[in-house]
Amino acid sequence: MATFMDTFNAVKEQLDDYFVKGVSHVRAYFTEWAKTAAFFIFVNGMQIFTRTKMASNNYYKKTAWLNTCVNTCISTCTNTCTNAYTHPWTGPYIKGGLALMSKLRAYLWNQRTEPFEKYWINISRYSLESDDSPAYIEHYDLFDQSDIISGNDCLTLFNIHDASERLVSTSPNTLFTMKIDDILIYRNIPSKERVAELVYDVKSKTRFIGIEYRHPKMSGVIQIDLPIHTYYAGNEILSPTFILRYLKYQSNPFVFDEDYKITLIDSNVQFSEMKWTDYCVLLADGYEIARG
């Protein structure tokens, strides 16, 4: 015959089991709620920052300090959101939502958009053969993660995708762009030798708080916002093809020829001016401007 303590212990075990299951259900419920809330907070926050920047565009040409302040704010907020963007819980929801928003915006504004896949190659180049808009061509190829033979060797991919072979030339206006997961790679005038020596996984400490595109035939400026995935050592950015490619993927009207100027503001608030013969090379501890 069961004693009082036996009955008490049996009831206690049953209650403990109910408690554990209840906590698990509550935790699962709030985990899903937290993921959803994080996604909407992130998206709405980015919309506010974007609208703030757009509202300030009219003042850029009059108040350079406002331009710097707005971009510093945007850069700070973007860096603050990096943890949420890369977190295994919230990251997929944020990336998926932003991808859909980007696709919708590109459709409505009839602008170009990059593939949403994690692994692709893009070869682009242009020519200024007339007084009309520059002749710009580009081609994308997708590849699988398994195509990457080793961490520092992309030559196999370069040879596999004949689209790359078709567009590559010795023209100084050729740009090689590759995305490997969350890393963006940029190289000018790609060749088999350069790609074979490509090392892409060293992060750069460089950050730019402002990059402005100006042209004598334009009344205003266009702000160039580099994705955080651009900041890797060895990347060659802000070349003429890089600039034109960026302009093709945004919605503001622009004029592009050899008369444009780039104003670069780094994290130390040092100003540099670049012309169409120049480009910037990211280093592990800084950057260099290659003058043409």
Q: What is the mean pLDDT of residues 62-74?
A: 58
Using the predicted structure, report yes or no on whether residue 151 has a pLDDT greater than 60.
Answer: no
Using the predicted structure, report yes or no on whether residue 160 has a pLDDT greater than 60.
Answer: no
Any idea which residue has 């567009």 for tokens?
A: 167
Output 166 or 106, whichever has higher pLDDT.
106
CA gap 199, 289 in Å, rounded? 20
Using the predicted structure, report yes or no on whether residue 206 has a pLDDT greater than 60.
Answer: yes
Q: Per residue in 87-145, pLDDT tens?
A: 677 667 666 666 666 666 666 666 788 888 888 888 898 887 766 678 898 988 887 77
Cβ-contact 287, 266 below 8 angstroms: yes
Q: How many CA atoms lie within 13 A of 111 on its CB side?
A: 18
Q: What is the mean pLDDT of residues 30-56?
A: 59
CA gap 41, 262 in Å, rounded? 34
CA gap 252, 54 in Å, rounded? 11
Of 32-41, 58-67, 71-80, 110-119, which range is least confident?
58-67
Q: Per residue in 1-20, pLDDT tens?
A: 556 566 656 656 665 665 55
Of 23-37, 118-132, 179-193, 222-236, which range is least confident?
23-37
Helix 4-60 with 64-80: angle, nearest 10 deg: 160
As a whole number of angstroms, the longest Cα–Cα distance in the chain is 102
**Confidence band for 61, pLDDT divided at 50, 70 and 90:** very low
Average per-residue pLDDT in the chain? 74
First to last CA, the chain: 97
Output 254 or 74, whichever has higher pLDDT.
254
Q: What is the mean pLDDT of residues 46-62?
A: 55
Using the predicted structure, report yes or no on whether residue 282 has a pLDDT greater than 70.
Answer: yes
Closest CA to 188 of 177, 197, 196, 199: 177
Q: How far is CA 113 from the centre of its chain?
A: 12
Q: What is the pLDDT of residue 164?
A: 47
Using the predicted structure, report yes or no on whether residue 34 has a pLDDT greater than 60.
Answer: no
Q: What is the pLDDT of residue 141?
A: 83
Q: What is the pLDDT of residue 9?
A: 65
CA gap 102, 113 in Å, rounded? 8
**Confidence band for 42, pLDDT divided at 50, 70 and 90:** low
- 248, two tokens: 């093709």
- 57, two tokens: 């565009």
Cβ-contact 95, 118 below 8 angstroms: no
Closest CA to 60 of 263, 250, 270, 238: 263
